[in-house]
């Protein structure tokens, strides 16, 4: 027995991922700005440099997570389109 796929649910999932992607992107920018501010204000202070390095590492890891979320969003959108195209062929 075939299962019905709710394309509206797929759309909501893709939109939720879009919101997640936008929020994480915004937070990455904030982290990068904080790292620059820290470096500008504290100079070569060892503790500050460690904090800057941690912020940069975290931003890099979050950026990788974004790539995964974007790939998942594309798969969901492609599947939704595929289902809609298949349904309209009848």
Q: What is the pLDDT along the chain (90 residues), one digit of tens a residue?
A: 446 778 999 999 999 999 999 999 999 999 999 999 988 888 778 888 898 999 999 999 999 999 999 999 999 999 999 988 887 765
Q: In the prediction, which pLDDT does 2 show?
A: 46
Q: Which of 85, 64, 84, 88 is nearest to 5 (CA)?
A: 84
The DSSP result for 31-69, as a single string, is HHHHHHHHHHHHTT-HHHHHHHHHHHHHHHHHHHHHHHH
Structural domain span for residue 78: 7-88
- CB-CB contact of 87 with 60 (8 Å): no
Q: In the prediction, which pLDDT does 89 show?
A: 64
Asked if residue 1 is part of any domain, the answer here is no
Asked if residue 13 is part of any domain, the answer here is yes
Question: Domain tally for the chain?
Answer: 1
Asked if residue 2 is part of any domain, the answer here is no
Asked if residue 69 is part of any domain, the answer here is yes
**pTM assigned to the model:** 0.80
CA distance 63 to 33: 15
């Amino acid at each position: 027995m075939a299962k019905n796929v709710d394309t509206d649910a797929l759309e909501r999932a893709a939109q939720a991922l879009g919101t997640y992607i936008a929020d994480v992107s915004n937070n990455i920018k904030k982290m990068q700005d904080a790292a620059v501010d820290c470096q500008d204000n504290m100079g070569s202070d060892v503790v500050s440099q460690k904090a800057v390095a941690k912020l940069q590492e975290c931003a890099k890891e979050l950026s990788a997570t974004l790539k995964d979320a974007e790939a998942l969003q594309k798969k969901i959108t492609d599947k939704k389109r595929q289902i809609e195209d298949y349904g309209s062929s009848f």
